[in-house]
Amino acid sequence: MKHFTSVKQLGNLEEAFAKARYVKENPFADQELGRNKTLLMIFFNNSLRTRLSTQKAAMNLGMNVIVLDVNQGAWKLETERGVIMNGDKSEHLLEAIPVMGSYCDIIGVRSFARFESREDDYNEVILNQFIQYSGRPVFSMEAATRHPLQTFADMITIEEYRKKERPKVVMTWAPHPKALPQAVPNSFAEGMNLTGFDFVITHPKGYELDPDFTAGARIEYDQDKALEGADFVYAKNWAAYSGENYGKVLSTDRSWTVSREKMALTNDAYFMHCLPVRRNMIVTDEVIESPRSIVIPEAANRVVSAQTVLKEILLSL
Ligand code: CP
């Protein structure tokens, strides 16, 4: 594996899950693999889980880790080519990227959608510049359109908890006061469409995601109907994708909040969310604290997904 930007690059899923199980059961078995190798983690946006879990994964593999928060302590970076740099940005990404590449062996990048241009976001302009100019293997720690380490952790978690061959997995939109990117739902849809599970997406009209990610899933606008018989409920907010509404909040309707009444429609489903989560907007206290909530093991599996991917990249160096 050279770069990792989508769960599609996991290849055969059975093999990927077997590798993840090995990593989980033997976290320190590959300490020599990362010896004298350096991971550079670049954050254009905030993080708790990705930062800690990826760092822990790299340490389990014996790697050295450098973390850079681009917006705190580094020179302010220009990202557009052709700009006359007479403003507040002191350095261009096109110099910064190869310099960063010269200090490490592998680069992880977090760079969210900016909602300024759907074209730029969906062309993954920042992530692709790292791939093009760093000279290093690059992996996504959540980019504009996908969050593959999160999705791989979600898939590992479902694999651990599912009781049937083909569970019903429902991804439901839920309200949030701010405009959030589509990276997690896009990526989750992409992952679920690889599994052959009964996968349903439910959201209010106007929140349709890019069909490049959702094609193959059933879309149901009636949340109650979608939740009937679900084995897993995956809650997430996202801002609108379509047309001139791109990046907008169209609804904060709390009748879409995942509550005890909503979960009662399911087949005693497990509740999942990538975190951070806004309680009593996305999900009630009661549901997230219930025994069917698996958000903590889901987050813990972020170490497993990151370590499995990092190990594959190290093996390819
Ligand atoms: N789920 C996730 O990526 O969490 P962080 O934003 O805290 O990294």
List b or e across 262-291, with b for residues whose CB sees 16 or more CB atoms inside 10 angstroms.
Answer: bbebbeebbbbbbeebbeebbbbeebbeee
- For residue 2, being part of any structural domain is answered with no
- For residue 165, being part of any structural domain is answered with yes
Locate 9 and state its tokens.
């690059």
- For residue 111, being part of any structural domain is answered with yes
Regarding whether 142 and 23 lie in a shared domain, the answer is yes
> CB–CB of 133/98 below 8 Å?
yes
283 CA distance to ligand 1 centroid (A)?
A: 17
DSSP result, 17-72: HHHHHHHHH-TTTTTTTTTT-EEEEEESS--SHHHHHHHHHHHHTT-EEEEEETTT
Regarding whether 55 and 106 lie in a shared domain, the answer is yes
Nearest ligand 1 atom to the CA of 50 is 8
Nearest ligand 1 atom to the CA of 299 is 1
Give residue 1's pLDDT: 80
Nearest ligand 1 atom to the CA of 275 is 1
> CB–CB of 80/93 below 8 Å?
no
Regarding whether 311 and 276 lie in a shared domain, the answer is no
Regarding whether 278 and 207 lie in a shared domain, the answer is yes
Ligand 1 binding pocket (C-beta < 6 A) is: 47-50, 142, 150, 274-276
Output the domain CATH number for residue 25: 3.40.50.1370
Regarding whether 229 and 170 lie in a shared domain, the answer is yes
CA distance 149 to 151: 5
- For residue 246, being part of any structural domain is answered with yes
Query: Is the pTM above the cut of 0.85?
Result: yes
Instruction: Domain of residue 90: give its range.
Output: 7-146+302-316
Query: Which residues in the chain come in under a pLDDT of 50?
Result: none
Regarding whether 103 and 11 lie in a shared domain, the answer is yes
Regarding whether 288 and 156 lie in a shared domain, the answer is yes
